[in-house]
Amino acid sequence: MNIFACFMDGIRRVNSAKRYIFVVYLINVLLALGLAISLGGAIKDSLGSSMAAERLRDGFDGFWYSNFSAQARDLAATFDPSVVGIGAIFNSLDAFLQGNVLDLETSIVAIGIFYLLLWSFFSAAFISIYIHRDDTSGPHSFFQQGAHFFWRFLQLAIMAGIIYYLLFHFVMPWLTDRVTDLTRQMVDERVVFSYVLIKYLILWSLVLGVNIIFDYSKIITVWQDRSFVLTIPWQALRFIGSHLVSTTGLYLCLGVVGIVLILFYWLIVPGAGQASWVAITGVFLIGQLYILSRIWMRCLFYAGQTTFYESVAGQLDSEPDTAEAAIKPDKVEGEGEMQAEQTPQSDLSDTT
Amino acid sequence: MRITYEDGREVDLTPQLTFIQPDDGNPDDRTVLQAPLAEPVESGSKVTVSIEWEAKVPRAFARTGAIGDYYFVAQWFPKIGVFEANGTWKCHQFIQTEFYADYGNYDVSMTVPTGWVVGATGQERSQQDNGDGTTTHRYYQEDVHDFVWTANPYAQVYTALFEDPSLPSVDMRLLLMPDHLHHKDRYFEATRAALKYYGTWFGAYPYGHITVVDPAYQSRSGGMEYPTMFTGGTRWLSPPEMLSPEGVTVHEAGHQFWYGIIGNDEFEDAWMDEGFNTYSTTRTMEAAYPERVLTKRYFERFIPVVFSSVKRGASRTAGADGFGGFYSNLKRDAMATQSWQQGPNAYGLNSYTKPGLMLRTLENYLGWETFQKVMSTYFDRWKFKHPRPRDFFAVVNEVSGQDMSWYFEQIYFSSNVFDYGVGSVKSKAVEKTKGYLEKEDGLVFENLSKKDTKDGDDKKQFLSTVFVNRWGEGVFPVEVQITFTDGSQATEQWLGRERWTRYDYTRSSRIERVVIDPDHKLTLDINYTNNSWIKESAAPLAAGKWAAKWMIWVQSVMEYLSFFA
């Protein structure tokens, strides 16, 4: 199956189980809402009955913000007017790209990690239903599958986390030092910038490489219902290595869609000018649609990759050793000839 | 080091040279060299001092040094200390301050590889190709107190002329790095703005030429002033809304006036150039670049993003709100503390922001017309001299015709802070007469409140009370403006000496809003937010709006974190 077919099939699979995306979104909202209420309270208290509130409502008030930020602690200290519009996304993306997400305020990181753990649960559930290709099994099965694979996914997440830690805490500083050494005598910002770009290209090639390995590790874990997961990343790596063009091509294709999504949001998101509850709610809903689409994108990554894995592994499942089959190389030029339709039950019966 | 007397005698002072540490006694400090003379130099007589020295150009740091083939050579020669009128030498160690030197004439020749661009204090008098791959550039300048130079093979040189009907023209020379060529016009426009506004407000730029150096990336030489030359600074990607290079260019060009022409002692009174210039820069930026919006740099600060819907926060001299008030560095040292002695973080605050606010508040208090006269008189009287703070205070008193000691006592000599705030505001319906009234036929029971009710609310009277407080130690006269729901206003003048005061009104409408210092004259107020009160607070809406935007950031962070799941 070619990349486009996997992509399109992934969309079909994701859309066949939309309601679970809303469940994840709802959790995301509820977790963030608690913090937002707390921050809103701090802002409200700080404004009191002053006329600064009017200015802040109509746009922004520099005097109030100077005073507020000079005295803000903990959660309130994270407030910055650059959260307006695309800034909310860029601020988080910037921290993400530089591996600084865990350096944010404690309560945000704590909730983020909790959400990350929930994703270990939900990614198992999503991959399970995507392997089943439709949502016929119902919520009970969805959550049951999540619970069934949770511990194994958690182990995979820990393994991945260790590698990410090594990448951001050892490889990245090492790369930064190399760039610093190489650009030490350079006086042209454009040249230095290109070196920095190369640094991030290398770092993020590794990070995304790890991510793709663990994405397929999850798929293999569910596909084969393997209880011992420690060797699965190796199996996933061999699978990716055997189908390098297709797996990375699909991953990059999905990534491009994610970037287009950000650009589209940038295009449509309004600035700071809302002065009524209706306008505020409208802008908030646009933001929520973006968050929802991010979750949808995340699921699309799983679904698209599941489709591809299924198209390769399922095709070869008829051979005696499923594990071996999963890593047999495809012929890139012949990918389109592979059969996409599989019956998961028969695949699962071959495992362990 | 040799000294030559008028009679031709020459004495080698080198054996007597010793490093001294007048400020902290740190034996490792070698920034002040003492050369005792064998005999005193009589008043009115003349000696010639010759100094030979070698200096190794360091890797660029603290605004001097080299990176690649970019050389920026500042503070590079032994600078003679200032012999003060009281007969003492002013030679502080180089600790945390800038510099102080006497005015003089500089005639400097620099030999650099042929083809390199050279910029320096003054104007180039000659260029000599030495035939060995080097060229000697000779620069000359009179009446300056420092000399700086730069040389590199990268820069492009552009020239332009500053012209203004009321000011002498100035030749502008810009040394621009290749990655900033697209910022050429912005550099020139900002320099023009500084020469125009400073020249018009304070006094004309006298030298007729100025060199603007766009510093090389990573050179750490940006944003610094030297006589007739300064370094700006910008980034490859810098949209106009970022006002870079504009902000730094106006500031450093402005130092030609406050530092270059008015040569105060930066060791002890750094605020007299940095504070004056902070005030003047802000005023110039407001006039030349009134639109200020929020901008931010991402991706290791390489990528700029403009948030045009968010008007940028308070400028440096617009208010003292950002300094943490009572628990801040505002309380650490008085401005009068000598700059080199100021405690942690107090130097910057007391050299730049607080004096900027002090001058802005003084302008608001005296009015621009009077204050402009103060500044131009001070500039004219003290140009090419070394004024002290008391000299400026004297000009303020003289030109304004007021004794402003009460003001400087609080702001310069103490670390008091100012904070006026609305206390409580109450409006309640007036209780109407109810009881026995003495009439012709004796005591008669009357219930006027019933009559009011019958006539409707428009006859109702409200007793309104406003309490305003002085939370800070600082005292400053303020205006209190009260607006009623029917649109009428009452304006009160409060000298602000008491800790609180109250105003009572009996009117047909309630109070809708109260503002202390509505024109924000007292920019030294550490919390302008508490200066106002409004009946129908917009706080829930404002807080909800910004918390909603912030929430999307948190949600996005959560999504990015879950990538690692």
Residues in chain B within 8 Å Cβ distance of A106 = none
Is residue B29 in a domain? no
Q: Indicate if B125 and B223 belong to the same structural domain.
A: yes
| pLDDT 10s digits, B343-395 | 888 999 999 999 999 999 999 999 999 999 999 999 999 999 999 999 999 99
Across the interface, whether the CB atoms of B562 and A119 are under 8 A apart is answered: yes
Q: Indicate if B253 and B373 belong to the same structural domain.
A: yes
Q: What is the total residue count of chain B?
A: 565
Secondary structure of B360-385 in the HEC alphabet? HHHHHHHCHHHHHHHHHHHHHHHCCE
Q: What is the pLDDT of residue B39?
A: 87
Residue that finishes a domain, picked among B411, B428, B455: B411
Contacts for B418 with CB less than 8 Å, ≥ 6 apart? B320, B472, B474, B476, B522, B524, B525, B526
Mean pLDDT to the nearest integer, B544-559 = 97
In the block, which residue shows the tokens 């000079």? Answer: A70
Q: Indicate if B394 and B274 belong to the same structural domain.
A: yes
Helix crossing, A18-47 with A62-71: angle to 10°? Answer: 100
Q: What is the pLDDT of residue B426?
A: 95
User: Residue B368's CB: how many other CB atoms inside 10 A?
Assistant: 12
* Alpha-carbon gap, residue B210 to B338, rounded angstroms: 31
Q: Indicate if B318 and B393 belong to the same structural domain.
A: yes
Q: Indicate if B191 and B142 belong to the same structural domain.
A: yes
Across the interface, whether the CB atoms of A277 and B551 are under 8 A apart is answered: no
Q: Greater confidence, B452 or B433?
A: B433
Is residue B428 in a domain? yes
B218, B528, B556: residue with CB nearest A92:
B556
Mean pLDDT to the nearest integer, B478-492 = 97
Q: How many domains does chain B have?
A: 3
Is residue B394 in a domain? yes
Q: Indicate if B185 and B305 belong to the same structural domain.
A: yes
Could you tell me which chain B residue has the CA closest to the CA of A288? Answer: B552
**Least-confidence region, from A77-86, A331-340, B102-111, B537-546:** A331-340
| Helix (H) or strand (E) run with residue B169 in it | strand B167-176
Using pLDDT thresholds of 50, 70 and 90, give the confidence band for residue B85.
Answer: confident
Q: Is pLDDT above 50 for B400?
A: yes
Across the interface, whether the CB atoms of A188 and B177 are under 8 A apart is answered: yes
Q: Indicate if B459 and B338 belong to the same structural domain.
A: no
Q: Tell me how far CA of residue B191 lies from CA of B179, B250, B445, in angstroms.
A: 20, 6, 81
In the block, which residue shows the tokens 């180089």? Answer: B94
Residues in chain B within 8 Å Cβ distance of A96 = 560, 563
Q: Indicate if B209 and B243 belong to the same structural domain.
A: yes
Q: Indicate if B362 and B272 belong to the same structural domain.
A: yes
Contacts for A126 with CB less than 8 Å, ≥ 6 apart? A17, A20, A299, A302, A303
B305, B528, B565: residue with CB nearest A90:
B305
Q: What is the pLDDT of residue B42?
A: 87
Q: Which of A31, A47, A64, A67 to mutate to test the interface with B (most CBs of B within 10 A)?
A: A67
Is residue B193 in a domain? yes
Determine the distance from the C-alpha atom of residue B528 to the mean position of all C-alpha atoms in its chain, rounded to a whole number: 20
Q: What is the pLDDT of residue A316?
A: 59
Across the interface, whether the CB atoms of B539 and A47 are under 8 A apart is answered: yes
**What is the sign, positive or negative, of the torsion defined by CA atoms of B272, B277, B280, B282?**
negative
| Residue-range definition of the domain harbouring residue B155 | 53-411
Mean pLDDT to the nearest integer, B92-116 = 95
Q: What is the pLDDT of residue A243?
A: 94
Residue that finishes a domain, picked among B362, B383, B411: B411
Using pLDDT thresholds of 50, 70 and 90, give the confidence band for residue B109.
Answer: very high
Q: Fill in the DSSP letter of residue A269.
A: -
| pLDDT 10s digits, B26-82 | 999 999 999 998 888 888 899 999 999 999 999 998 899 999 999 999 999 999 999
Q: What is the pLDDT of residue B433?
A: 66
* Average per-residue pLDDT for chain B: 94
Residues in chain B within 8 Å Cβ distance of A71 = 324-325
Residue that finishes a domain, picked among B411, B438, B453: B411
Q: Indicate if B66 and B205 belong to the same structural domain.
A: yes
- What amino acid occupies position B173? R
* Alpha-carbon gap, residue A56 to B532, rounded angstroms: 14
* Alpha-carbon gap, residue B170 to B178, rounded angstroms: 25
Could you tell me which chain A residue has the CA closest to the CA of B302? Answer: A193
Q: What is the pLDDT of residue B274?
A: 97
* Alpha-carbon gap, residue B202 to B372, rounded angstroms: 7
Is residue B63 in a domain? yes
Does any CB of chain A come closer than 8 Å to the CB of residue B300?
yes
Q: Indicate if B439 and B555 belong to the same structural domain.
A: no
Does any CB of chain A come closer than 8 Å to the CB of residue B424?
no
Q: What is the total residue count of chain A?
A: 352
Across the interface, whether the CB atoms of B560 and A88 are under 8 A apart is answered: no
- ipTM confidence: 0.90
Phi, psi of B418 (to 5 degrees): -110, 135
Using pLDDT thresholds of 50, 70 and 90, give the confidence band for residue B460.
Answer: confident
Q: Is pLDDT above 60 for B217?
A: yes
Residues in chain B within 8 Å Cβ distance of A70 = 321-325, 328
Does any CB of chain A come closer than 8 Å to the CB of residue B536?
no
**What is the sign, positive or negative, of the torsion defined by CA atoms of A35, A46, B526, A53?**
positive
CA atoms within 13 A on the CB side of B372: 10
Is residue B292 in a domain? yes
Across the interface, whether the CB atoms of B542 and A91 are under 8 A apart is answered: no
Q: Indicate if B335 and B388 belong to the same structural domain.
A: yes
Cα of A319 to nearest chain B Cα, Å: 32
The DSSP bridge pattern shows strands B209-213 and B229-231 to be: parallel
Across the interface, whether the CB atoms of B545 and A79 are under 8 A apart is answered: no
pLDDT by position in tens, chain A (length 352):
788 999 999 999 999 889 999 999 999 999 999 999 999 999 999 999 999 999 999 999 999 999 999 989 999 999 999 999 999 999 999 999 999 999 999 999 999 999 999 999 999 999 999 987 655 568 888 999 999 999 999 999 999 999 999 999 999 999 999 999 999 999 999 999 999 999 999 999 999 999 999 999 999 999 998 888 999 999 999 999 999 999 999 999 999 999 999 999 999 999 999 999 999 999 999 999 999 999 999 999 999 999 999 888 876 554 444 444 444 443 333 333 333 333 343 333 333 2
Does any CB of chain A come closer than 8 Å to the CB of residue B307?
yes
For residue B32, what are its two tokens? 């002040």
Determine what percent of chain B is predicted with pLDDT higher than 90.
86
Chain B, 336-395: which have a CB under 8 Å from a chain A CB? Answer: none
Q: Is pLDDT above 90 for B300?
A: yes
CB B225 within 8 A of CB B259: yes
Q: What is the pLDDT of residue A279?
A: 96
Q: What is the pLDDT of residue A325?
A: 41
Q: Is pLDDT above 80 for B336?
A: yes
Across the interface, whether the CB atoms of A60 and B562 are under 8 A apart is answered: no
- CATH classification of the domain holding B381: 1.10.390.10
Is residue B28 in a domain? no
Across the interface, whether the CB atoms of B322 and A70 are under 8 A apart is answered: yes
Is residue B4 in a domain? no
